[in-house]
Amino acid sequence: MTHLFTLDLVYELPRLSGFRSPLRRVLGGWDVAGIWSASTGQPFTLRQPTSRDRSRPDVIDFNNAVLNDFPQYLNPRAFARVPVIAATNQPARPGNVGRNVWSAPGQWNVDFSFGKTVPLKERVSLRVRADMFNAFNHINPTGLETNISSARFGRLTSTAGARRIQLQARLSF
């Protein structure tokens, strides 16, 4: 991938020392953290299955090859199969599509967590925490079909993981 940007944040909320003890224990001292990452897509190479390894098709409309629409990312009408010799299943000539000419769609994600340590006795404390992976449940399309002979050519066939939440409690003594 060409670009990858990651930003992380950790912040401890005020302890609310001026408030009464029950309110201070519930609302004060939480910590929050987050990680935001964004990247450009991975380069890909189109392929045309033949008996010759790494055969590629032709591009006939380079400017309109990428639709950048979900789920149809590539324009199938912008590409053509290279004629194949029936007796050998070999392409009649090399295709004109270059290797790694285009990149798949970029992706971004936000992970978020918050937690608090609650002192129970002098040497005993309880740590509670919630982690949210893909906190906004953002769809990052993946799985681009690069085989020109496939009925799903140019389609994004899957997505990166959905939101996951994990809860934790740890007793320290």
CB-CB contact of 120 with 34 (8 Å): no
pLDDT tens digits, 90-106: 999 999 999 999 999 99
Residue 158 is predicted with a pLDDT of 94
Residue 129's pLDDT is what? Answer: 97
Walk across the sheet containing 4-12 and list its strands: 4-12, 31-39, 107-121, 124-133, 164-172
Give the start-to-end residue ranges of the domains of the chain.
4-172
Each residue of 30-69: pLDDT tens digit? Answer: 999 999 999 999 999 999 999 888 899 999 999 999 998 8
Amino acid letter at 32?
A: V
